[in-house]
């Protein structure tokens, strides 16, 4: 069960780090592009929208972390092999492959390329390497 808790912690830590960056980006881009008015009803405060986005990021990332924790728990029972700097190489390769499949289509747009690549690297580092080590330390 340490794997699921490790996934929750990593997802929560990512949401704590990513949500304020998203809120700052939203507030800054709202002055130039009016992004907040396009994604929310008219008259919605940018600060209130940032709070909603933070709450959504917290729910989504902790859910992803817990699901990946269940996957790690299942793989630890079947293939607990070390490799690639991870206590479970099969799990790390699955996280890398899933991230690549999700991020590859976004790399077509030049405006998104840098942000998606950085986000993918952070996601893989957090869920692919930190989470297995945290689960290993907790068990």
113 Cβ contact list (under 8 Å, min separation 6)? 106, 107
| Spatial separation of the C-alpha atoms in residues 82 and 13, rounded to whole Å | 25
Spans of all domains in the chain = 2-138
Question: Are 107 and 113 spatial neighbours (Cβ–Cβ below 8 Å)?
Answer: yes
pLDDT at 19: 80
| Spatial separation of the C-alpha atoms in residues 112 and 133, rounded to whole Å | 31
pLDDT band of 85, cuts 50, 70, 90: confident
10-40 pLDDT, tens digit each: 999 999 988 888 777 777 776 677 666 677 7
88-120 pLDDT, tens digit each: 888 999 999 999 999 999 888 887 788 889 999
Is the predicted pLDDT of residue 6 greater than 90, yes or no?
Answer: yes
Is the predicted pLDDT of residue 122 greater than 70, yes or no?
Answer: yes
pLDDT at 125: 94
| Spatial separation of the C-alpha atoms in residues 12 and 3, rounded to whole Å | 14
> Is residue 27 exposed (0-12), middle (13-18) or buried (19+ Cβ within 10 Å)?
middle
């Amino acid at each position: 069960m340490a794997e699921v808790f490790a996934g929750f912690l990593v997802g929560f830590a990512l949401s704590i780090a990513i949500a304020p960056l998203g809120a700052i980006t939203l507030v800054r881009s709202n002055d130039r592009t009016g992004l907040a008015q396009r994604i929310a009803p008219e008259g919605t405060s940018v600060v209130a929208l940032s709070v909603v986005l933070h709450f959504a990021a917290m729910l989504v990332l902790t859910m992803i972390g817990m699901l990946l924790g269940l996957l790690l728990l299942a793989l630890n029972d079947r293939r607990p092999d070390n490799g690639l700097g991870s206590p479970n190489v099969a799990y790390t390769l699955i996280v890398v492959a899933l991230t690549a499949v999700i991020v590859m289509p976004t790399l077509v747009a030049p405006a998104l390329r840098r942000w998606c690549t950085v986000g993918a690297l952070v996601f893989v580092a957090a869920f692919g390497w930190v989470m297995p080590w945290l689960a290993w330390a907790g068990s």
